[in-house]
Amino acid sequence: MKLVRFGDAGAEKPGMIDHNGDLRDLSGQVDDIAGHVLSDTTLDMLRTLDPMALPKVDREVRFGPCVGQIGKFMCIGLNYSDHAAETGAAIPEHPILFMKATSAIVGPNDDVVMPRGSTHTDWEVELGVVIGKACKYVSEEEALDYVAGYCVCNDVSERHFQTKLTGQWTKGKSCDTFGPTGPWLVTRDEVGDPQNLAMHLDVNGNRRQTGNTNTMIFTVAQCISHLSQMFTLHPGDVISTGTPPGVGMGMKPDPVYLKEGDVMDLTIEKLGSQRQVVRADG
């Protein structure tokens, strides 16, 4: 299934994409696409519905973040071997974790707003993993059983804030609008193997990133298992699992960063596409 949230920001309704690509309203079945409806039991109930019997919605409507009420937005850094190489970083021994503020989360096609003083805003297409049931101390072998589904994430980053302002990466990762998520949550049964998904990102029509989840240093299962050894992952939590090479910071001979008016287009196989226009704040 492809589950969505649509409507004005802060007032999104739950929906489903039918086999024709049309948007159907799920408001009569669930109140949101959020942690409390992502259990296997509820997802199985939604699978029994006849999408053609649900109210059809104009596809021109805004799509919101595909998961509502996200509790934790966790990100794995330097998780692609070829991306680590382009940044000159050593291969990490364990998954690098940083948190992205949930206030950064926006819809897949909402504007990305560069904060005041930003000169190093960068792009990062990433596979998002949405947790479907609480897990702690899970093994790698069972980890994927705790996944509700997957989505596209753009881990937008302000590199100066991230690396030059004293503190942790969070400063450069959590600016408002720096977490486009969606367009839809695709349930794990429809995705299959999360370690064989092609992805790419364009800026102004020029290909910047091309990659595949098969070059991840730590697999989705390894990331879930590792994090669950330290804290509980709750339904609706999102893990953004790292980016392939081609970020602006890694371009040679000189880095290239986003500017007002730039357009980012990003796609992950089976998970859909996003488009964001970049604008300056104030």
> Is the residue at 142 inside a domain?
yes
Is the model's pLDDT at 167 over the cut of 90? no
> Is the residue at 4 inside a domain?
no
Q: In this predicted structure, what is the pLDDT of residue 275?
A: 98
Q: In this predicted structure, what is the pLDDT of residue 86?
A: 77
14-47 residue pLDDT tens:
999 999 999 999 999 999 999 999 999 999 999 9
Q: 155: domain range?
A: 65-280
Q: In this predicted structure, what is the pLDDT of residue 169?
A: 85
> Is the residue at 232 inside a domain?
yes
> Is the residue at 59 inside a domain?
no
pLDDT confidence tier of residue 83, bands split at 50, 70 and 90: confident
Q: In this predicted structure, what is the pLDDT of residue 81?
A: 85
Q: If you average pLDDT over residues 205-232, what whole number do you get?
A: 97
Q: If you average pLDDT over residues 122-143, what whole number do you get?
A: 98
Cα 151–chain centre separation:
5
> Is the residue at 200 inside a domain?
yes
Q: What is the mean pLDDT of the chain?
A: 96
151-166 residue pLDDT tens:
999 999 999 999 888 8
Q: If you average pLDDT over residues 236-243, what whole number do you get?
A: 98
Q: What is the CATH number of the domain that holds 71?
A: 3.90.850.10
Q: If you average pLDDT over residues 108-137, what whole number do you get?
A: 97
> Is the residue at 171 inside a domain?
yes
pLDDT confidence tier of residue 203, bands split at 50, 70 and 90: very high
Q: If you average pLDDT over residues 218-243, what whole number do you get?
A: 98
pLDDT confidence tier of residue 11, bands split at 50, 70 and 90: very high
Q: If you average pLDDT over residues 162-174, what whole number do you get?
A: 87
Is the model's pLDDT at 213 over the cut of 90? yes
Q: In this predicted structure, what is the pLDDT of residue 268?
A: 98
> Is the residue at 126 inside a domain?
yes
pLDDT confidence tier of residue 59, bands split at 50, 70 and 90: confident
pLDDT confidence tier of residue 84, bands split at 50, 70 and 90: confident
The dihedral formed by the CA atoms of 25, 274, 270 and 80, expressed in degrees to the nearest 10: -140
Q: If you average pLDDT over residues 176-204, what whole number do you get?
A: 98
Share of the chain above pLDDT 70, in %: 100
Is the model's pLDDT at 282 over the cut of 80? no
Total domains, the chain = 1
